Structure 1
Amino acid sequence: MSRDWRRLMIEPNTKIRKALQIMDERASKLLLVCKNQKFKSVLSIGDIQRAILSNRSLEDEINSILRDRIIIASAQDKEEDVRNLMLQHRIETMPIVDEDQNVVDVIFWDQIFSEKKERVDTLHDIPVVIMAGGKGTRLKPITNIIPKPLIPLGEKPVLEWIIDSFNEVGVKNFHLTVNYKQDMIRSYFANQPQRDYSINYFEENKPLGTAGSLHLLKGKLKGTFFVTNCDILIKDDYSEMLKYHKSNGNELTAVSAVKHFKIPYGTLEFGENGVLEKLKEKPEYNFFINAGMYILEPHLLEEIPEDDFFHITTLIERILDRNGKVGIFPVSEGSWMDIGQWDEYNKTSQKLGYPGINL
């Protein structure tokens, strides 16, 4: 085997937070759960997301969230039988287990199938709105010359990365709200004649915040739609995001990335007159941050003021104030990539296999 599947093995007492980190480090959405080298189960990113949505703590052990029924292959199975089993159930990663419950091999989809694993096309009629009108002041001096959406990541600009990630799962209709250096954005995509998607442009005549320009789409969008900033990439299952949004009856769903912080110092908590109450040595904290991608229902466009500066966080607050339903869909820290400032841009560029930019 060219791929070291042993790197995907974890113990059942591993914490959920640590399992997420291992998935990110090893670029795998699935891990093999083994106790003392004996196969116990598999853990997928979907298992973790469902656990988080059920209010499980990231400090819980993965043993408590494992599925009871999973499909595996036996060491005695013929290769053709394993192949047919993977095809039948569309399994990307198949553990091979012997009679003593030892993992003896793992078969990956791309090892035995030349074609890519098909993804269920559930987004063919879902439009995507990309907020591409900002000046990108944190990315100067390059944004003095080109707009932030056209900053290159390898061989194509970040905006094209975003569009391609949605187009791969069937999205054909994109709506770009533009302002700063918009002619360059229009010209770039006008010279991409082979694309199989449409782009509609909506011009804001002044900066309108992270949601103000959505008023330009009133009457244009009749169904559920995605909204994303133009300086983030999220590598996760958009179909699962949409499924969660609809099944929970949310008006708005915000995608949230798990962010882990470790304080490199001991911290002190004290009360009145400076009396020490608690000492913590290098504490660690988990937060769910706003990742900059959302799913909205079309009636929310009526709540966007016309031609006023308006942030999407204000819209969320208004929904909550009237007891509307806002949901959170969690993704791992490594699934969320930012290019909004230079240090994060370089991390994202390197993660995608390209050199960063030294200024």
Structure 2
Amino acid sequence: MELSDKLEKVQVSPDLPIVQALEKMDRAARQILLVTDEDGRLLGTITDGDVRRALLEGVNLQELVSRIMNPYPKILPAGSSLEAARQLMVDHGIRHVPLVDKLGRVVDLLVWQELFLPRAEAHSERVVIMAGGQGTRLDPFTRVLPKPMIPLRDKPIIEVIMEKFYHQGLSQFILCLGYKAEIIRLYFNGNTRPYHIDFVQEEAPLGTAGALSLLAGHLDGTFLLTNCDIIVEMDYAHLLQYHRERENTITIVGALKEFVVPYGVLRTEDSSFWIEEKPNFHFLVNTGLYVLEPAVLTLVPEGKRIDMPELINAVQDQELRIGVYPHYGRWFDIGQWDEYQQTLKFFETMGFGG
């Protein structure tokens, strides 16, 4: 791909609505957009950090990108050395450096990962996967197979989830089993995969958080917790960094979700009246992916059913820090039929399998 094509994928005009800019940022997968005028002159940048701040502040996504852009980004003149770019990134804690010519036009974009991290960095954090539910929303499929074993193309969902973690350097997994556990154990029996798998077993259904009581004493560091029916396309290293920098006890990954009202909505204000045709709304919704500290485990009652909202409330009662990591990229909830079918179609179109 030519440089001009790469730059075009990350360039937006200042009068583009934020919601459309987010779609372009997601497609480009560079975690940055360059806001330029019609002549290609750099007006500002929008990074994924700018997006997260805007989502947490409740900025209207129909506003223009100029509302959230950084008008004074760190830049270098065209022709600067890679070493100069590396030093600028290290000095200012940034991950992108646009190169501009004498007229201020963007001629290149240097990215941290390409300069420093050619391969995924290994992480010691363990990934706990809640795989014990009955999957009633996928009935009757789950009368035969446990939800984690439902196929996504040529692999079970749970294996696709683990491979996506593994490709980002996370290789230690704990599967919390319950319903039809023997099928999952049999599938992974004699595991020759490049990652390690441990199992814990619920004797009775313990909800979306209760199985954590089985891990007390086995986890002594930060860990990730995920449901077995969700796939979040994101940078897990940055999620962990975000969690630590804010000294959170729990970080909840919230995905940006659009909801469209399929009707004309009647609006009234004082004596005025109008109809808003099929309006859409954006919310941050819980994905079922979390980062937790081991202190949380002491708050999970042994042998009792408890769901994550209850555990989060217990953490709040202890006045421990809880944060939200806003995610605006792809998120697949495979726990119900319509979402499962849409995910299958997407994976077939994009050629994904793990």
Which TM-score band (shorter chain)?
Answer: 0.7 to 0.9
Q: Could you say which residue in structure 1 is the equivalent of 2:147? A: 148
User: 1:344-355 alignment to 2 at 5 Å?
Assistant: 344-353=339-348
| Rounded Cα–Cα distance in structure 2 between residues aligned with 1:23 and 1:54 | 19
Residue type at the aligned position of 1:329: Y
Measured after TM superposition, the shift of residue 11 of structure 1 is 1.0
Q: Which amino acid aligns with 1:131?
A: M
CA change 1:258–1:318 in 2 (3 A) is same
Q: In the aligned structure 1, how far is the partner of 2:139 from the partner of 2:77?
A: 54
CA-to-aligned-CA distance 1:112-154 (integer Å, 9 cap, x gap):
99x9833444xx2211110001122222333222222122223
Alpha-carbon separation, structure 2, partners of 1:50 and 1:192: 42
Q: Which residue of 1 aligns with 2:322?
A: 326
User: Residues 221 and 33 (structure 1 numbering): CA distance in 2 closer, same or farther, change over 3 Å?
Assistant: same
Query: In 2, are the aligned partners of 1:97 and 1:105 still within 8 Å (CA)?
Result: yes
Name the SS of the counterpart of 2:41 in structure 1.
strand
Secondary structure of the residue aligned to 1:267 is strand
Out of 237, 243, 246, the position equivalent to 1:245 is 243
Aligned to 2:293: 297
State how far apart, in whole Å, the 1-side matches of 2:39 and 2:341 are.
38
Superposition map of 1:25-44 within 5 A = 25=27, 29-40=31-42, 41-44=44-47
Query: How far, CA to CA, are the matches of 2:253 and 2:26 in structure 1?
Result: 17
Partner of residue 62, structure 1: 65
Q: Is the 8 A contact 1:150 1:158 kept in 2?
A: yes
Query: 2, 8, 11: which one pairs with 1:9?
Result: 11
1:266 paired to 2:264:
yes
TM-score, length-normalised on structure 2?
Answer: 0.82
**Unaligned regions of 5+ residues in structure 2, if any?**
none
Deviations 1:178-212 (A, max 9, x none): 012212211222244142x2211111112211111
Q: CA deviation at 1:221?
A: 1.1
Residue 167 of structure 1 aligns to which amino acid in structure 2?
Answer: Y
Contact 2:35 2:46 survives alignment (8 Å) = yes
Q: Cα distance, 1:224 vs. partner? A: 1.7
CA distance in 2, matches of 1:176, 1:343: 26
- What do you get for the CA RMSD once the two structures are aligned? 3.4
Aligned counterpart in structure 2 of residue 312 of structure 1, from 308, 318, 333? 308
C-alpha distance in 2 between matches for 1:31 and 1:52: 16
> Would the alpha carbon gap of residues 247 and 104 (structure 1) be closer, same or farther in structure 2, given more than 3 Å must change?
closer
Structure-2 change in CA distance of 1:219 and 1:108 (3 Å): closer
SS in 2 for 1:190: coil
* Contact 1:134/1:148 (<8 A) preserved: yes
C-alpha distance in structure 1 between counterparts of 2:211 and 2:198, whole Å: 14
> Amino acid of the residue matched to residue 29 of structure 1?
Q
Q: CA deviation at 1:304?
A: 1.2
Are residue 118 (structure 1) and residue 140 (structure 2) matched? no
Q: How far did 1:43 drift?
A: 2.7
TM-superposition CA deviations, 1:191-245 (whole Å, max 9, x none): 44142x2211111112211111111111111122111000001111112222222
Name the aligned partner's letter for residue 30 of structure 1.
Answer: I
Distance 1:261 1:105 in 2: 37
List per-residue Cα deviations over 1:240-290 (Å, max 9, x = no partner): 22222222222211100011223243323569xxx9775451333221100
| CA deviation after TM superposition for structure 1 residue 33, in Å | 1.6
1:341 aligns with 2:336: yes
Identity of aligned residues (%): 37
What is the correspondence of 1:80-229 to structure 2 with a 5 Å cutoff?
97-103=100-106, 117-121=118-122, 124-195=123-194, 197-229=195-227
Distance 1:352 1:27 in 2: 17
TM-score (norm 1): 0.81
For the 8 Å contact 1:266–1:279, the answer to whether it is kept is no
Question: What secondary structure sits across from 1:226 in the alignment?
Answer: strand
Secondary structure of 1:36 counterpart: coil
Instruction: Write the distance in 1 (CA, Å) between the matches of 2:234 and 2:176.
Output: 24
Give the drift of 1:37. 3.4
Task: Work out whether residues 9 and 33 of structure 1, in 8 Å CA contact, stay in contact via their aligned partners in 2.
Answer: yes
